[in-house]
Structure 1
Amino acid sequence: MRRTLPAATMALLLALTSCTTAGPSGAPNSVPDDMPNASRQDAAQAERTMASLRRVDDLPLYEMTYVGAYDPTAGTDATPSSPFGCSLFVAAGDPARPLFARNFDWDANPALVLRTDPPDGYAAISLVDISYLGVGADPTGDRRLLDAPLLPFDGMNERGLAVGLAADDAATVRADPGKPTVGSVRILRLVLDRAATVDEAVAVFSRHNLDFDGGPALHYLLADATGASAVIEFVDGELRVERGTGGWQALTNVPVAGVSEQRRREDHRYGQIAAALSRAGGVLDATAAHRVLASVRQGHTRWSVTYGLRSGEVRLVTATGGGERRYQLPMS
């Protein structure tokens, strides 16, 4: 995990999770805590969503199924305060079993496994740090959870498109006035809702400006059911796409676009992952992938997850050490 950003900067991390919908003063609009601004549900759908919430381990980790529609461009009042670490990789050496894996390295916050199936987008499973919603360790009855679809930190949709993020201190963005601006976590929701392939996901990124103001800049790993993968980075203000080759691709907190593989492997976690994937020829099942994730776990790793990009199987282990949880996303 990289902790190079000053605390004062991190206190302003609102832009990380919100679209730039501004009020008269130019500050992002806010809504009362009891009036979720993402939900486009009727009352019955909202109640069914809240009723589906259940605690499943002592992280604490919760599960919830979102029923009905939401506006993926609505704002939130999240105020996270620490930089991301994270380790991610795609193992696609066996085209019949491509796999996306990630460690989420972060503060000790509650998390949520969220199922969504919007009427105008793809069904997905994603993981959310619900502290970004202002929600505490016991979210029972807290209707701010109805904004949870807006903040996927990683996830996979029914077409086998997966995405995750990590800090990249070197990234910079340059706004195009002809494009809408979206928060740098929110873009994951747009990708999961709208993209079936890596190319389509890259197009979603290309259609938007990303807002890194006030928080850690990010880069992203994408993969799809064909085994294709790509890293999205921002170099000198411009979007760069680094395509995966050789059956695998990895991402930690060092830039990869235009950087030699030898230089990338100087990063300890990247080097560990790259060595394991090279030995395996990019062929790993979920059990083996979790062993690789375990080898690069940090003291602040909150969850380790694998997504089967063709099988729809999700395997999740949290920092509690309480065993593996499995989920199945029906694939289309």
Structure 2
Amino acid sequence: MMRATLNTKANKQSSFARICKRVILVALALLVIGLIGIAAVLRHEIKTVVSITEVDSHPLYTMTYDGDYGFDDFLQKGASSDTELINFVVTRLMRGVPIKLDLPDLACATFNATSPTGDALFGRNFDLTFSPAMLVRTKPEHGYESISMVNLAFLGYGKNKLPDNPLKAVTALAAPYAPLDGMNEKGLAVGVLLIDTDPTHQQTDKPDITTTTAIRMMLDKCATVDEAVEMLGKYDMHASAKRSYHFQIADASGKSVVVEYLGNDMNVIDQGNKSYLAATNFLLSPGNFDFGGGYDRYDILMSRLNATDGVMTEHEAMDALQASAQNERLNKKGEPHMTQWSVVYNLDQLTATVVCGMQYDTAHTFSLKK
């Protein structure tokens, strides 16, 4: 009788163990299925985050955006403020993860030149407080492949927060919407520079666009300067961060213009009888406009361009950027302010040579052909 009781208890324990094992196996199977499902839904985001690589201790990162970042949808909706842009990005790309987008004072410089072998060059200094940099590669289904430079500080990064692990890197998914300069596969390049005038807020019946999304639009959709100017003219410009900006645009033909906004009017400054053009932080539009600064940096660039009739090697172009770079100084808030990156784009060879933190003996070259 006792043996039968023991056998019954053993059978019950064995049966319970089998049930527990099945439950655990089913739970593990459901977990695996769930993870596979999440991975399938977020595969583009995961692949993008995994692509982030640190290439310079300044730091400089690279990231290849995988999949669709929804820019065609954005152009249909538009945005007349940073808040509207952030709401779109949070919903479309970040899946509800909050971000901020902040463009402070950009004391920068740009110019175009021609190499001795006839390649079109575009140079850019980006001057600001500490700015973790990221070179972002995008390849939209309905647009041109491009590389662009993004200041990660605009997305909330800084010395104490960098995209050095997957959890911290999620915010970088918004980077396609925050380019400050770049070049696409057709050899179109663009850079944005601050002007100390009233903020641009065009009020017509055209669709709305913001500063950085205008750059993304030109890189994604335009092959030439003429196409870029025509496309900008189809939108009402709303300057980010309650400031005003102008754009220098150049293409592989050697053509370059600066686009400025005066009230509701878009003004285009061309090269005139020269093959080159430069811009810093003051208006170039004809008239009595005493706005902005950077005249000293503009003079440095123009004197070098005038001396060579706009012909420079890529090394000489970087030397010109170094000569016009800003050494560390304190801005109005008492924060260190200096040139964060210098880049020379070759619009024919489709390369970008980047120097971060004024370390001009350490350059990194990237190619759109690879």
Q: TM-score, normalised by structure 2?
A: 0.73
Structure 2 Cα separation of the partners of residues 289 and 160 of structure 1: 17
Which is higher, the Rg of structure 1 or of structure 2? 2
CA contact (8 A) 1:173 1:236 kept: yes
Aligned AA (1:310): D
Aligned AA (1:125): I
CA contact (8 A) 1:116 1:125 kept: yes
* Structure 2: 5+ residue stretches without partners: 1-39, 75-87, 91-98, 329-337
Q: 1:224 aligns with which of 234, 245, 251?
A: 251
**Alignment length (residue pairs):** 289
1:253 aligned onto 2:281: yes
Q: CA RMSD in A?
A: 2.4
CA contact (8 A) 2:194 2:245 kept: yes
1:161-172 alignment runs, 5 A limit: 161-170=188-197, 172=199
Structure 1 Cα separation of the partners of residues 292 and 46 of structure 2: 48
Q: 2:144 aligns with which of 109, 118, 122?
A: 122
* Structure 1: 5+ residue stretches without partners: 1-40
Change in CA separation of 1:75 and 1:211 when aligned onto 2, cut-off 3 Å: farther
Give the equivalent residue in structure 2 for 1:269.
297
1:279 aligned onto 2:301: no
Structure 1 residue 93: deviation in Å? Answer: 7.2
Structure 2 Cα separation of the partners of residues 167 and 129 of structure 1: 15
CA contact (8 A) 1:66 1:115 kept: yes
Aligned AA (1:307): Y
Q: Which has the higher helix share?
A: 2
Structure 1 residue 75: deviation in Å? Answer: 3.7
1:325 aligned onto 2:364: yes
Q: 1:293 aligns with which of 321, 328, 348?
A: 321
Structure 1 residue 47: deviation in Å? Answer: 1.4
Structure 1 residue 171: deviation in Å? Answer: 5.5
Aligned AA (1:231): V
Identity of aligned residues (%): 31
Structure 1 residue 329: deviation in Å? Answer: 1.0
Structure 1 Cα separation of the partners of residues 358 and 292 of structure 2: 31
Give the equivalent residue in structure 1 for 2:43.
44
| Structure 2 counterpart SS, 1:287 | helix
Change in CA separation of 1:213 and 1:65 when aligned onto 2, cut-off 3 Å: closer
Give the equivalent residue in structure 1 for 2:265.
238
Give the equivalent residue in structure 1 for 2:66.
67
Q: Summarize deviations over 1:193-238 as a string: whole Å, max 9, x none.
A: 0000001111221111121264321000000010111100012331
| Structure 2 counterpart SS, 1:326 | strand
Q: Summarize deviations over 1:58-84 as a string: whole Å, max 9, x none.
A: 211111111111123334642426311
Structure 1 residue runs of 4+, over 6 Å off?
Answer: 263-266
Q: TM-score, normalised by structure 1?
A: 0.81
1:309 aligned onto 2:333: no
Give the equivalent residue in structure 2 for 1:55.
54
Structure 2 Cα separation of the partners of residues 282 and 232 of structure 1: 20
CA contact (8 A) 2:144 2:184 kept: yes
Give the equivalent residue in structure 2 for 1:24.
none
| Structure 2 counterpart SS, 1:193 | helix
1:204-223 alignment runs, 5 A limit: 204-212=231-239, 214-223=241-250
CA contact (8 A) 2:67 2:140 kept: yes
Change in CA separation of 1:234 and 1:95 when aligned onto 2, cut-off 3 Å: farther
Which 10-residue stretch deviates more, 175-184 or 249-258?
175-184
Structure 2 Cα separation of the partners of residues 202 and 241 of structure 1: 8
Structure 1 residue 100: deviation in Å? Answer: 0.3
Structure 1 residue 174: deviation in Å? Answer: 4.8
